[in-house]
Amino acid sequence: KPTVVDHIGIAVKSIDEALSFWQSALGIQCTGVEEVEEQKVRTAFLPIGDTEVELLEATSDESPVAKFIEKKGEGIHHLAIRVENLEAALAELKEKGIRLIDETPRYGAGGAKIAFVHPKSTGGILLEISER
Cβ proximity to ligand CMX, 53 vs 109, nearer residue: 109
From the CB of 120, what's the least distance to ligand CMX, in Å? 6
Site for ligand CMX in 76-115 (CB under 6 A): 77-78, 101, 108-109
Binding residue (CB under 6 A) for ligand CMX from 56, 83, 86, 129: 56
Residue of 128, 97, 96 lying closest to 113 (CA atoms): 128
From the CB of 76, what's the least distance to ligand CMX, in Å? 8
Distance CA 101, CA 80 (A): 14
Could you tell me which stretch among 19-27, 34-42, 44-52, 89-97 binds ligand CMX (CB under 6 A)? Answer: 34-42
- State the maximum Cα–Cα separation within the chain, in Å, rounded to a whole number: 46
Give contact residues for ligand CMX (rule: CB under 6 A). Answer: 9, 36, 39, 41, 43, 56, 64-65, 67-68, 77-78, 101, 108-109, 116, 118-119, 124-126
